[in-house]
Structure 1
Protein backbone atom coordinates (compact mmCIF):
# COMPACT_ATOMS: atom_id res chain seq x y z
CA UNK A 1 0.00 0.00 0.00
CA UNK A 2 1.44 3.37 -1.03
CA UNK A 3 1.04 6.19 1.48
CA UNK A 4 -0.27 9.42 0.04
CA UNK A 5 1.85 12.52 0.44
CA UNK A 6 0.62 15.37 2.58
CA UNK A 7 -0.01 18.73 0.83
CA UNK A 8 3.11 20.10 2.54
CA UNK A 9 5.26 17.21 1.23
CA UNK A 10 3.81 17.64 -2.25
CA UNK A 11 4.58 21.36 -2.12
CA UNK A 12 8.19 20.68 -1.13
CA UNK A 13 8.55 18.08 -3.90
CA UNK A 14 7.19 20.52 -6.48
CA UNK A 15 9.56 23.22 -5.18
CA UNK A 16 12.48 20.83 -5.58
CA UNK A 17 11.48 20.02 -9.17
CA UNK A 18 11.17 23.74 -9.94
CA UNK A 19 14.67 24.36 -8.57
CA UNK A 20 16.16 21.60 -10.70
CA UNK A 21 14.46 22.87 -13.87
CA UNK A 22 15.67 26.39 -13.18
CA UNK A 23 19.26 25.30 -12.53
CA UNK A 24 19.32 23.17 -15.70
CA UNK A 25 18.13 26.15 -17.74
CA UNK A 26 20.79 28.33 -16.11
CA UNK A 27 23.59 25.92 -17.01
CA UNK A 28 22.47 25.58 -20.63
CA UNK A 29 22.13 29.33 -21.14
CA UNK A 30 25.52 29.92 -19.49
CA UNK A 31 27.20 27.91 -22.23
CA UNK A 32 25.27 29.85 -24.87
CA UNK A 33 26.34 33.19 -23.31
CA UNK A 34 30.00 32.19 -23.17
CA UNK A 35 30.17 31.04 -26.78
CA UNK A 36 28.18 34.01 -28.10
CA UNK A 37 30.15 36.70 -26.25
CA UNK A 38 33.55 35.21 -27.08
CA UNK A 39 32.49 35.15 -30.73
CA UNK A 40 31.40 38.81 -30.57
CA UNK A 41 34.64 39.82 -28.83
CA UNK A 42 36.73 38.02 -31.45
CA UNK A 43 34.86 39.68 -34.33
CA UNK A 44 34.98 43.23 -32.93
CA UNK A 45 38.18 43.43 -30.89
CA UNK A 46 36.17 45.34 -28.26
CA UNK A 47 37.49 45.45 -24.71
CA UNK A 48 33.99 46.10 -23.41
CA UNK A 49 32.63 42.97 -25.11
CA UNK A 50 35.68 40.93 -24.04
CA UNK A 51 35.11 42.14 -20.48
CA UNK A 52 31.50 41.05 -20.73
CA UNK A 53 32.66 37.65 -21.99
CA UNK A 54 35.15 37.36 -19.10
CA UNK A 55 32.28 37.91 -16.66
CA UNK A 56 30.38 35.13 -18.41
CA UNK A 57 33.29 32.72 -17.88
CA UNK A 58 33.06 33.41 -14.15
CA UNK A 59 29.29 33.04 -14.29
CA UNK A 60 29.53 29.64 -15.96
CA UNK A 61 31.86 28.36 -13.23
CA UNK A 62 29.69 29.89 -10.51
CA UNK A 63 26.54 28.36 -11.99
CA UNK A 64 28.13 24.92 -11.93
CA UNK A 65 29.04 25.40 -8.28
CA UNK A 66 25.55 26.69 -7.56
CA UNK A 67 24.07 23.56 -9.15
CA UNK A 68 26.16 21.37 -6.84
CA UNK A 69 25.15 23.47 -3.84
CA UNK A 70 21.46 23.22 -4.75
CA UNK A 71 21.73 19.42 -4.88
CA UNK A 72 23.74 19.22 -1.65
CA UNK A 73 21.38 21.54 0.23
CA UNK A 74 18.44 19.27 -0.65
CA UNK A 75 20.04 16.14 0.85
CA UNK A 76 18.47 15.09 4.17
CA UNK A 77 20.14 15.57 7.57
CA UNK A 78 22.64 12.95 8.67
CA UNK A 79 24.65 12.08 11.77
CA UNK A 80 27.37 14.62 11.01
CA UNK A 81 24.89 17.33 9.92
CA UNK A 82 21.78 16.97 12.10
CA UNK A 83 20.50 20.39 10.99
CA UNK A 84 20.73 19.47 7.31
CA UNK A 85 22.93 21.00 4.62
CA UNK A 86 21.10 24.25 3.87
CA UNK A 87 24.02 26.45 4.96
CA UNK A 88 25.88 25.48 1.80
CA UNK A 89 23.58 27.98 0.02
CA UNK A 90 25.28 30.87 1.83
CA UNK A 91 28.70 29.41 1.04
CA UNK A 92 27.74 29.14 -2.65
CA UNK A 93 26.56 32.75 -2.62
CA UNK A 94 29.88 33.81 -1.07
CA UNK A 95 31.86 31.92 -3.71
CA UNK A 96 29.79 33.46 -6.49
CA UNK A 97 30.23 36.95 -5.03
CA UNK A 98 34.00 36.43 -4.78
CA UNK A 99 34.22 35.23 -8.38
CA UNK A 100 32.18 38.21 -9.59
CA UNK A 101 34.51 40.52 -7.69
CA UNK A 102 37.53 38.87 -9.31
CA UNK A 103 35.93 39.36 -12.72
CA UNK A 104 35.40 43.05 -11.95
CA UNK A 105 39.10 43.50 -11.14
CA UNK A 106 40.11 41.84 -14.42
CA UNK A 107 37.66 43.93 -16.42
CA UNK A 108 38.93 47.13 -14.83
CA UNK A 109 42.54 46.21 -15.59
CA UNK A 110 41.83 45.52 -19.29
CA UNK A 111 39.86 48.76 -19.58
CA UNK A 112 42.70 50.84 -18.14
CA UNK A 113 45.17 49.23 -20.55
CA UNK A 114 42.97 50.10 -23.54
CA UNK A 115 42.52 53.66 -22.32
CA UNK A 116 46.30 54.01 -22.36
CA UNK A 117 47.11 52.17 -25.59
CA UNK A 118 43.89 52.78 -27.58
CA UNK A 119 41.28 50.31 -28.79
CA UNK A 120 41.40 48.46 -32.13
CA UNK A 121 37.74 48.03 -33.13
CA UNK A 122 36.03 46.40 -36.14
CA UNK A 123 32.68 44.91 -37.27
CA UNK A 124 30.85 46.68 -34.47
CA UNK A 125 27.46 46.22 -36.13
CA UNK A 126 27.75 42.41 -36.05
CA UNK A 127 28.90 42.52 -32.42
CA UNK A 128 25.94 44.70 -31.46
CA UNK A 129 23.44 42.28 -32.99
CA UNK A 130 24.99 39.32 -31.19
CA UNK A 131 25.18 41.02 -27.79
CA UNK A 132 21.64 42.36 -28.20
CA UNK A 133 20.18 38.90 -28.72
CA UNK A 134 22.17 37.45 -25.83
CA UNK A 135 21.05 40.29 -23.56
CA UNK A 136 17.39 39.51 -24.20
CA UNK A 137 17.98 35.84 -23.36
CA UNK A 138 19.78 36.78 -20.14
CA UNK A 139 16.96 39.09 -19.05
CA UNK A 140 14.40 36.29 -19.45
CA UNK A 141 16.61 33.77 -17.63
CA UNK A 142 17.55 36.09 -14.76
CA UNK A 143 13.95 37.08 -14.10
CA UNK A 144 12.92 33.42 -14.15
CA UNK A 145 15.66 32.35 -11.72
CA UNK A 146 14.95 35.12 -9.22
CA UNK A 147 11.21 34.35 -9.24
CA UNK A 148 11.74 30.62 -8.77
CA UNK A 149 14.37 31.26 -6.09
CA UNK A 150 12.04 33.51 -4.10
CA UNK A 151 9.03 31.23 -4.54
CA UNK A 152 10.95 28.14 -3.38
CA UNK A 153 13.14 29.95 -0.81
CA UNK A 154 16.35 29.02 -2.61
CA UNK A 155 19.16 31.49 -1.96
CA UNK A 156 21.31 29.62 -4.49
CA UNK A 157 18.83 30.21 -7.33
CA UNK A 158 18.09 33.78 -6.30
CA UNK A 159 21.80 34.63 -6.14
CA UNK A 160 22.35 32.97 -9.49
CA UNK A 161 19.45 34.91 -10.98
CA UNK A 162 20.83 38.19 -9.66
CA UNK A 163 24.17 37.28 -11.22
CA UNK A 164 22.42 36.66 -14.55
CA UNK A 165 20.62 40.01 -14.31
CA UNK A 166 23.94 41.68 -13.52
CA UNK A 167 25.30 40.07 -16.67
CA UNK A 168 22.28 41.43 -18.54
CA UNK A 169 22.84 45.00 -17.30
CA UNK A 170 26.52 44.63 -18.11
CA UNK A 171 25.67 43.61 -21.67
CA UNK A 172 23.17 46.46 -21.97
CA UNK A 173 25.87 48.92 -20.93
CA UNK A 174 28.22 47.40 -23.48
CA UNK A 175 25.56 47.78 -26.20
CA UNK A 176 25.15 51.47 -25.38
CA UNK A 177 28.91 52.04 -25.30
CA UNK A 178 29.65 50.17 -28.50
CA UNK A 179 26.73 51.87 -30.19
CA UNK A 180 28.17 55.28 -29.27
CA UNK A 181 31.58 54.26 -30.59
CA UNK A 182 29.99 53.04 -33.82
CA UNK A 183 28.04 56.30 -34.26
CA UNK A 184 30.65 58.83 -33.10
CA UNK A 185 33.93 57.06 -33.82
CA UNK A 186 35.23 57.98 -30.32
CA UNK A 187 37.20 54.83 -29.49
CA UNK A 188 38.05 55.62 -25.87
CA UNK A 189 34.36 55.17 -25.05
CA UNK A 190 34.86 51.41 -25.36
CA UNK A 191 37.29 51.02 -22.41
CA UNK A 192 35.35 53.67 -20.48
CA UNK A 193 32.28 51.45 -20.69
CA UNK A 194 34.47 48.59 -19.48
CA UNK A 195 35.25 50.55 -16.32
CA UNK A 196 31.57 51.24 -15.72
CA UNK A 197 30.86 47.53 -16.17
CA UNK A 198 33.47 46.74 -13.53
CA UNK A 199 31.92 49.18 -11.05
CA UNK A 200 28.46 47.66 -11.54
CA UNK A 201 29.80 44.16 -10.97
CA UNK A 202 31.58 45.24 -7.76
CA UNK A 203 28.26 46.54 -6.41
CA UNK A 204 26.52 43.21 -7.05
CA UNK A 205 29.42 41.19 -5.65
CA UNK A 206 29.47 43.10 -2.36
CA UNK A 207 25.72 42.53 -1.99
CA UNK A 208 26.11 38.77 -2.44
CA UNK A 209 29.03 38.63 0.00
CA UNK A 210 27.16 40.67 2.59
CA UNK A 211 24.13 38.36 2.37
CA UNK A 212 26.34 35.31 2.67
CA UNK A 213 28.03 36.60 5.81
CA UNK A 214 24.69 37.46 7.40
CA UNK A 215 23.36 33.98 6.65
CA UNK A 216 26.42 32.11 7.87
CA UNK A 217 26.43 34.19 11.07
CA UNK A 218 22.70 33.48 11.67
CA UNK A 219 21.78 37.15 11.72
CA UNK A 220 18.27 37.65 13.07
CA UNK A 221 15.48 38.46 10.63
CA UNK A 222 13.73 41.30 12.48
CA UNK A 223 10.49 40.97 10.54
CA UNK A 224 10.25 37.23 11.21
CA UNK A 225 11.28 37.76 14.84
CA UNK A 226 8.55 40.34 15.37
CA UNK A 227 5.90 38.08 13.81
CA UNK A 228 7.03 35.12 15.93
CA UNK A 229 6.98 37.06 19.19
CA UNK A 230 3.66 38.67 18.35
CA UNK A 231 2.15 35.22 17.80
CA UNK A 232 3.48 33.99 21.15
CA UNK A 233 2.20 37.17 22.79
CA UNK A 234 -1.26 36.47 21.36
CA UNK A 235 -1.14 32.97 22.86
CA UNK A 236 -0.46 34.57 26.26
CA UNK A 237 -3.35 37.05 25.86
CA UNK A 238 -5.73 34.22 24.96
CA UNK A 239 -4.68 32.21 28.02
CA UNK A 240 -3.28 29.39 25.89
CA UNK A 241 0.08 29.70 27.69
CA UNK A 242 1.06 31.59 30.84
CA UNK A 243 4.25 33.16 29.47
CA UNK A 244 7.27 32.51 27.26
CA UNK A 245 10.95 33.41 26.99
CA UNK A 246 14.26 32.32 25.44
CA UNK A 247 12.95 32.70 21.89
CA UNK A 248 15.51 31.90 19.21
CA UNK A 249 15.26 31.21 15.51
CA UNK A 250 17.52 30.90 12.50
CA UNK A 251 17.16 30.10 8.82
CA UNK A 252 19.13 27.50 6.87
CA UNK A 253 18.18 27.44 3.20
CA UNK A 254 14.43 26.76 3.12
CA UNK A 255 14.37 25.48 6.71
CA UNK A 256 13.52 27.52 9.80
CA UNK A 257 14.68 26.32 13.22
CA UNK A 258 12.80 27.80 16.18
CA UNK A 259 13.33 27.32 19.91
CA UNK A 260 11.38 28.75 22.85
CA UNK A 261 10.37 28.08 26.44
CA UNK A 262 6.64 28.01 27.24
CA UNK A 263 5.29 28.38 30.78
CA UNK A 264 2.06 26.91 32.17
CA UNK A 265 0.31 26.86 35.55
CA UNK A 266 2.10 24.45 37.88
CA UNK A 267 -1.02 22.38 38.55
CA UNK A 268 -1.80 21.85 34.84
CA UNK A 269 -1.54 18.17 33.76
CA UNK A 270 1.41 17.53 31.45
CA UNK A 271 -0.82 16.15 28.70
CA UNK A 272 -2.82 19.39 28.68
CA UNK A 273 0.33 21.53 28.55
CA UNK A 274 1.67 19.32 25.76
CA UNK A 275 -1.54 19.70 23.75
CA UNK A 276 -1.45 23.50 24.15
CA UNK A 277 2.21 23.53 23.13
CA UNK A 278 1.27 21.73 19.92
CA UNK A 279 -1.43 24.30 19.21
CA UNK A 280 1.14 27.07 19.61
CA UNK A 281 3.50 25.17 17.33
CA UNK A 282 0.81 24.94 14.63
CA UNK A 283 0.31 28.69 14.81
CA UNK A 284 4.04 29.33 14.57
CA UNK A 285 4.35 26.94 11.63
CA UNK A 286 1.64 28.91 9.80
CA UNK A 287 3.84 32.03 9.98
CA UNK A 288 6.27 30.39 7.53
CA UNK A 289 4.03 28.71 4.91
CA UNK A 290 6.79 28.27 2.33
CA UNK A 291 9.51 26.97 4.68
CA UNK A 292 10.14 23.67 6.41
CA UNK A 293 9.69 24.66 10.08
CA UNK A 294 11.31 22.81 12.99
CA UNK A 295 10.14 23.86 16.45
CA UNK A 296 11.72 22.84 19.76
CA UNK A 297 9.61 23.81 22.78
CA UNK A 298 10.69 23.56 26.41
CA UNK A 299 7.74 23.41 28.83
CA UNK A 300 8.07 24.95 32.31
CA UNK A 301 5.76 25.59 35.29
CA UNK A 302 4.76 29.19 35.92
CA UNK A 303 6.28 28.98 39.41
CA UNK A 304 9.66 28.49 37.79
CA UNK A 305 9.25 31.90 36.17
CA UNK A 306 8.35 33.49 39.52
CA UNK A 307 11.42 31.97 41.16
CA UNK A 308 13.71 33.65 38.60
CA UNK A 309 12.16 37.10 37.96
CA UNK A 310 15.31 38.61 36.46
CA UNK A 311 16.00 35.69 34.15
CA UNK A 312 12.44 34.88 33.04
CA UNK A 313 10.09 37.71 32.22
CA UNK A 314 7.72 38.45 29.37
CA UNK A 315 9.33 40.59 26.69
CA UNK A 316 7.96 44.13 26.46
CA UNK A 317 10.08 45.00 23.42
CA UNK A 318 9.09 42.51 20.66
CA UNK A 319 12.73 42.15 19.59
CA UNK A 320 14.40 42.32 23.00
CA UNK A 321 14.57 38.55 23.39
CA UNK A 322 16.33 38.19 20.05
CA UNK A 323 18.76 41.05 20.70
CA UNK A 324 19.91 39.65 24.03
Structure 2
Protein backbone atom coordinates (compact mmCIF):
# COMPACT_ATOMS: atom_id res chain seq x y z
CA UNK A 1 0.00 0.00 0.00
CA UNK A 2 1.31 3.44 -0.95
CA UNK A 3 2.33 5.75 1.89
CA UNK A 4 -0.34 8.24 0.77
CA UNK A 5 -3.09 5.60 1.12
CA UNK A 6 -1.78 4.56 4.53
CA UNK A 7 -2.02 8.21 5.57
CA UNK A 8 -5.69 8.38 4.56
CA UNK A 9 -6.40 5.17 6.53
CA UNK A 10 -4.75 6.69 9.62
CA UNK A 11 -6.62 9.99 9.27
CA UNK A 12 -9.96 8.16 8.78
CA UNK A 13 -9.33 6.05 11.90
CA UNK A 14 -8.43 9.10 13.99
CA UNK A 15 -11.52 10.98 12.77
CA UNK A 16 -13.70 8.01 13.75
CA UNK A 17 -12.25 7.93 17.29
CA UNK A 18 -12.74 11.69 17.69
CA UNK A 19 -16.35 11.48 16.48
CA UNK A 20 -17.24 8.77 19.01
CA UNK A 21 -15.44 10.62 21.81
CA UNK A 22 -16.95 14.02 21.13
CA UNK A 23 -20.47 12.76 20.42
CA UNK A 24 -20.60 10.70 23.60
CA UNK A 25 -19.36 13.48 25.88
CA UNK A 26 -21.21 16.18 23.95
CA UNK A 27 -24.57 14.44 24.30
CA UNK A 28 -23.99 13.59 27.98
CA UNK A 29 -22.75 17.07 28.88
CA UNK A 30 -25.06 19.03 26.63
CA UNK A 31 -22.15 21.16 25.40
CA UNK A 32 -22.97 22.82 22.09
CA UNK A 33 -19.30 23.57 21.44
CA UNK A 34 -18.30 19.92 21.76
CA UNK A 35 -21.24 18.76 19.63
CA UNK A 36 -20.25 21.25 16.93
CA UNK A 37 -16.69 19.91 17.07
CA UNK A 38 -18.09 16.37 16.68
CA UNK A 39 -19.90 17.44 13.51
CA UNK A 40 -16.63 18.90 12.24
CA UNK A 41 -14.88 15.57 12.92
CA UNK A 42 -17.66 13.78 11.03
CA UNK A 43 -16.87 16.06 8.09
CA UNK A 44 -13.19 15.17 8.49
CA UNK A 45 -14.03 11.46 8.27
CA UNK A 46 -16.06 12.01 5.10
CA UNK A 47 -13.20 13.92 3.48
CA UNK A 48 -10.60 11.33 4.52
CA UNK A 49 -12.69 8.49 3.08
CA UNK A 50 -13.10 10.44 -0.17
CA UNK A 51 -9.34 11.03 -0.28
CA UNK A 52 -8.71 7.30 0.10
CA UNK A 53 -11.11 6.63 -2.79
CA UNK A 54 -9.41 9.29 -4.92
CA UNK A 55 -5.90 7.99 -4.27
CA UNK A 56 -6.97 4.37 -4.79
CA UNK A 57 -8.45 5.17 -8.19
CA UNK A 58 -5.79 7.70 -9.21
CA UNK A 59 -3.08 5.03 -9.13
CA UNK A 60 -4.96 2.70 -11.47
CA UNK A 61 -3.26 2.00 -14.78
CA UNK A 62 -4.62 3.48 -18.03
CA UNK A 63 -7.37 1.43 -19.66
CA UNK A 64 -9.70 1.54 -22.66
CA UNK A 65 -11.83 4.25 -21.06
CA UNK A 66 -9.07 6.39 -19.49
CA UNK A 67 -6.11 6.30 -21.86
CA UNK A 68 -4.07 8.66 -19.67
CA UNK A 69 -5.12 7.15 -16.35
CA UNK A 70 -7.05 8.83 -13.53
CA UNK A 71 -4.31 11.03 -12.10
CA UNK A 72 -6.54 14.13 -12.18
CA UNK A 73 -8.61 12.64 -9.38
CA UNK A 74 -5.92 13.96 -7.01
CA UNK A 75 -6.32 17.68 -7.90
CA UNK A 76 -10.09 17.17 -8.09
CA UNK A 77 -10.04 15.81 -4.53
CA UNK A 78 -7.94 18.79 -3.43
CA UNK A 79 -10.45 21.23 -4.95
CA UNK A 80 -13.36 19.43 -3.27
CA UNK A 81 -11.60 19.36 0.09
CA UNK A 82 -10.62 23.03 -0.13
CA UNK A 83 -14.23 23.88 -0.96
CA UNK A 84 -15.47 21.83 2.00
CA UNK A 85 -13.02 23.64 4.30
CA UNK A 86 -14.36 26.98 3.04
CA UNK A 87 -17.99 25.92 3.51
CA UNK A 88 -17.18 24.68 7.01
CA UNK A 89 -15.61 28.06 7.74
CA UNK A 90 -18.77 29.85 6.58
CA UNK A 91 -20.86 27.60 8.85
CA UNK A 92 -18.59 28.37 11.81
CA UNK A 93 -18.82 32.07 10.97
CA UNK A 94 -22.63 31.84 10.91
CA UNK A 95 -22.73 29.99 14.25
CA UNK A 96 -20.32 32.50 15.82
CA UNK A 97 -22.42 35.48 14.74
CA UNK A 98 -25.57 33.71 15.97
CA UNK A 99 -23.98 33.23 19.39
CA UNK A 100 -23.13 36.92 19.53
CA UNK A 101 -26.71 37.86 18.70
CA UNK A 102 -28.26 35.14 20.89
CA UNK A 103 -25.79 34.25 23.68
CA UNK A 104 -26.30 30.91 25.44
CA UNK A 105 -24.95 29.66 28.75
CA UNK A 106 -22.73 26.57 28.68
CA UNK A 107 -22.83 23.66 31.16
CA UNK A 108 -20.65 20.69 32.22
CA UNK A 109 -17.47 22.57 31.40
CA UNK A 110 -15.04 20.07 32.97
CA UNK A 111 -16.17 17.19 30.73
CA UNK A 112 -16.06 19.42 27.67
CA UNK A 113 -12.55 20.68 28.49
CA UNK A 114 -11.26 17.11 28.95
CA UNK A 115 -12.60 16.05 25.55
CA UNK A 116 -11.11 19.07 23.79
CA UNK A 117 -7.69 18.52 25.41
CA UNK A 118 -7.69 14.93 24.12
CA UNK A 119 -8.84 16.07 20.66
CA UNK A 120 -6.16 18.76 20.51
CA UNK A 121 -3.35 16.30 21.34
CA UNK A 122 -4.56 13.53 19.00
CA UNK A 123 -5.09 15.94 16.10
CA UNK A 124 -1.64 17.43 16.69
CA UNK A 125 0.03 14.04 16.24
CA UNK A 126 -2.07 13.40 13.12
CA UNK A 127 -1.07 16.73 11.53
CA UNK A 128 2.60 15.98 12.21
CA UNK A 129 2.25 12.61 10.45
CA UNK A 130 0.27 13.96 7.48
CA UNK A 131 2.72 16.86 7.02
CA UNK A 132 5.59 14.37 6.93
CA UNK A 133 3.82 12.27 4.27
CA UNK A 134 2.91 15.37 2.22
CA UNK A 135 6.51 16.62 2.29
CA UNK A 136 7.92 13.19 1.39
CA UNK A 137 5.49 12.45 -1.46
CA UNK A 138 4.45 15.94 -2.63
CA UNK A 139 0.89 14.60 -2.91
CA UNK A 140 -1.77 17.31 -3.20
CA UNK A 141 -4.49 15.24 -1.51
CA UNK A 142 -2.39 14.59 1.59
CA UNK A 143 -1.28 18.23 1.60
CA UNK A 144 -4.95 19.29 1.62
CA UNK A 145 -5.75 16.69 4.29
CA UNK A 146 -2.90 18.01 6.47
CA UNK A 147 -4.25 21.55 6.03
CA UNK A 148 -7.74 20.36 6.94
CA UNK A 149 -6.59 18.81 10.21
CA UNK A 150 -4.27 21.76 10.89
CA UNK A 151 -7.33 24.01 10.88
CA UNK A 152 -8.88 21.52 13.32
CA UNK A 153 -5.94 22.10 15.68
CA UNK A 154 -6.69 25.82 15.69
CA UNK A 155 -10.42 25.25 16.08
CA UNK A 156 -9.96 22.65 18.84
CA UNK A 157 -7.41 24.90 20.55
CA UNK A 158 -9.71 27.89 20.26
CA UNK A 159 -12.67 25.94 21.66
CA UNK A 160 -10.46 24.67 24.51
CA UNK A 161 -9.17 28.16 25.25
CA UNK A 162 -12.69 29.55 25.09
CA UNK A 163 -14.03 26.89 27.46
CA UNK A 164 -11.29 27.54 30.01
CA UNK A 165 -11.65 31.32 29.71
CA UNK A 166 -15.42 31.14 30.02
CA UNK A 167 -15.15 28.90 33.08
CA UNK A 168 -12.93 31.41 34.87
CA UNK A 169 -14.40 34.68 33.60
CA UNK A 170 -18.02 33.87 32.79
CA UNK A 171 -17.71 35.91 29.59
CA UNK A 172 -19.47 33.94 26.83
CA UNK A 173 -18.49 36.37 24.04
CA UNK A 174 -15.01 34.83 23.96
CA UNK A 175 -16.29 31.73 22.17
CA UNK A 176 -17.93 33.41 19.12
CA UNK A 177 -15.13 35.98 18.69
CA UNK A 178 -12.53 33.24 18.43
CA UNK A 179 -14.86 31.33 16.12
CA UNK A 180 -14.94 34.25 13.70
CA UNK A 181 -11.13 34.47 13.69
CA UNK A 182 -10.84 30.73 12.99
CA UNK A 183 -13.36 30.92 10.15
CA UNK A 184 -11.37 33.60 8.34
CA UNK A 185 -8.14 31.66 8.85
CA UNK A 186 -9.71 28.51 7.36
CA UNK A 187 -10.87 30.37 4.26
CA UNK A 188 -7.46 32.04 3.87
CA UNK A 189 -5.71 28.66 4.13
CA UNK A 190 -8.08 26.87 1.72
CA UNK A 191 -7.68 29.35 -1.15
CA UNK A 192 -4.16 28.14 -2.24
CA UNK A 193 -5.28 24.48 -2.19
CA UNK A 194 -8.31 25.19 -4.38
CA UNK A 195 -6.30 27.43 -6.70
CA UNK A 196 -3.55 24.82 -7.19
CA UNK A 197 -6.09 22.07 -7.83
CA UNK A 198 -8.08 24.14 -10.37
CA UNK A 199 -4.92 25.15 -12.25
CA UNK A 200 -3.84 21.51 -12.42
CA UNK A 201 -7.26 20.49 -13.76
CA UNK A 202 -6.84 23.18 -16.43
CA UNK A 203 -3.43 21.69 -17.42
CA UNK A 204 -1.34 24.58 -16.19
CA UNK A 205 2.33 24.35 -17.20
CA UNK A 206 5.05 23.33 -14.78
CA UNK A 207 6.67 26.12 -12.72
CA UNK A 208 9.03 28.38 -14.67
CA UNK A 209 12.13 27.05 -12.88
CA UNK A 210 11.28 23.46 -13.87
CA UNK A 211 10.75 24.44 -17.51
CA UNK A 212 14.09 26.25 -17.51
CA UNK A 213 15.81 23.09 -16.26
CA UNK A 214 14.24 21.07 -19.09
CA UNK A 215 15.25 23.69 -21.64
CA UNK A 216 18.81 23.64 -20.30
CA UNK A 217 19.02 19.90 -20.97
CA UNK A 218 17.69 20.31 -24.50
CA UNK A 219 19.96 23.25 -25.30
CA UNK A 220 23.07 21.39 -24.11
CA UNK A 221 22.35 18.31 -26.23
CA UNK A 222 24.87 18.51 -29.08
CA UNK A 223 23.33 15.63 -31.05
CA UNK A 224 20.20 17.60 -31.95
CA UNK A 225 19.97 20.66 -34.20
CA UNK A 226 17.29 22.43 -32.18
CA UNK A 227 13.95 21.81 -30.46
CA UNK A 228 10.51 23.41 -30.36
CA UNK A 229 6.96 22.97 -29.01
CA UNK A 230 7.99 22.20 -25.46
CA UNK A 231 4.75 21.61 -23.54
CA UNK A 232 4.26 20.54 -19.92
CA UNK A 233 1.42 19.77 -17.55
CA UNK A 234 0.93 18.06 -14.22
CA UNK A 235 -1.81 15.79 -12.89
CA UNK A 236 -1.37 14.79 -9.26
CA UNK A 237 1.83 12.78 -8.96
CA UNK A 238 2.16 12.54 -12.76
CA UNK A 239 4.04 14.96 -15.04
CA UNK A 240 3.46 15.03 -18.79
CA UNK A 241 6.06 16.57 -21.13
CA UNK A 242 6.19 16.74 -24.92
CA UNK A 243 8.57 18.38 -27.39
CA UNK A 244 9.91 18.19 -30.94
CA UNK A 245 13.59 17.37 -31.44
CA UNK A 246 15.18 18.33 -34.76
CA UNK A 247 17.91 15.94 -35.99
CA UNK A 248 20.25 16.00 -38.94
CA UNK A 249 18.40 14.51 -41.89
CA UNK A 250 21.11 11.87 -42.38
CA UNK A 251 20.89 10.36 -38.88
CA UNK A 252 19.54 6.84 -38.56
CA UNK A 253 16.26 6.22 -36.76
CA UNK A 254 18.11 3.93 -34.33
CA UNK A 255 20.61 6.63 -33.34
CA UNK A 256 17.86 9.22 -33.04
CA UNK A 257 16.02 6.92 -30.62
CA UNK A 258 19.13 6.40 -28.52
CA UNK A 259 19.64 10.15 -28.24
CA UNK A 260 15.98 10.70 -27.41
CA UNK A 261 16.10 8.02 -24.70
CA UNK A 262 19.17 9.67 -23.17
CA UNK A 263 17.45 13.06 -23.09
CA UNK A 264 14.32 11.55 -21.55
CA UNK A 265 16.40 9.90 -18.81
CA UNK A 266 18.02 13.24 -17.92
CA UNK A 267 14.66 15.00 -17.75
CA UNK A 268 13.07 12.25 -15.61
CA UNK A 269 15.99 12.58 -13.19
CA UNK A 270 14.81 16.15 -12.50
CA UNK A 271 11.64 14.79 -10.89
CA UNK A 272 12.65 11.74 -8.81
CA UNK A 273 9.43 11.74 -6.76
CA UNK A 274 7.09 12.01 -9.74
CA UNK A 275 5.93 9.71 -12.52
CA UNK A 276 7.17 11.44 -15.68
CA UNK A 277 5.63 10.72 -19.07
CA UNK A 278 7.53 12.13 -22.06
CA UNK A 279 6.36 12.26 -25.67
CA UNK A 280 9.20 12.95 -28.11
CA UNK A 281 8.60 13.96 -31.73
CA UNK A 282 11.66 13.36 -33.90
CA UNK A 283 11.82 15.78 -36.85
CA UNK A 284 14.30 15.69 -39.79
CA UNK A 285 13.98 19.49 -40.09
CA UNK A 286 12.50 22.41 -38.17
CA UNK A 287 8.79 22.43 -39.03
CA UNK A 288 7.71 24.89 -36.33
CA UNK A 289 6.87 27.67 -38.81
CA UNK A 290 4.75 25.36 -40.97
CA UNK A 291 2.80 24.03 -37.97
CA UNK A 292 2.24 27.53 -36.60
CA UNK A 293 0.64 28.56 -39.92
CA UNK A 294 -1.63 25.51 -39.79
CA UNK A 295 -2.69 26.33 -36.22
CA UNK A 296 -3.69 29.84 -37.26
CA UNK A 297 -6.15 28.32 -39.68
Distance 1:226 1:48 in 2: 51
Please show how residues 98-247 of structure 1 align to structure 2 within 5 Å.
98-222=83-207, 223-235=209-221, 239-247=222-230
Distance 1:244 1:301, change over 3 A: same
Equivalent in the alignment of 2:52: 67
Post-superposition shift, 1:298? Answer: 0.5
Gaps of 5+ in 2: none
Equivalent in the alignment of 1:276: 259
Q: Which of 81, 96, 109 in structure 2 is aligned with 1:96?
A: 81
State the Cα RMSD in Å.
2.2
Question: Given that residues 240 and 276 in structure 1 are in contact (C-alpha distance below 8 angstroms), is that contact kept between their aligned partners in structure 2?
Answer: yes
Distance 2:29 2:219 in 1: 65
**Number of residue-to-residue matches in the alignment:** 292
Equivalent position SS for 1:267: coil
| TM-score of the superposed pair, with normalisation by structure 2 | 0.90
1:289 and 2:269 matched: no
Q: Which of 216, 229, 235 in structure 2 is aligned with 1:252?
A: 235
| TM-score of the superposed pair, with normalisation by structure 1 | 0.83
Distance 1:198 1:246 in 2: 45
Equivalent position SS for 1:221: coil
Gaps of 5+ in 1: 1-15, 313-324
Larger CA deviation: 293-302 vs 31-40 = 31-40
Post-superposition shift, 1:259? Answer: 0.3
Question: Given that residues 138 and 167 in structure 1 are in contact (C-alpha distance below 8 angstroms), is that contact kept between their aligned partners in structure 2?
Answer: yes
The Cα offsets for residues 194-252 of structure 1, whole Å up to 9 and x where unpaired, read as 222222222233232212211111112223222212222222xxx13221110111111
Post-superposition shift, 1:47? Answer: 4.8
Distance 1:35 1:203, change over 3 A: farther
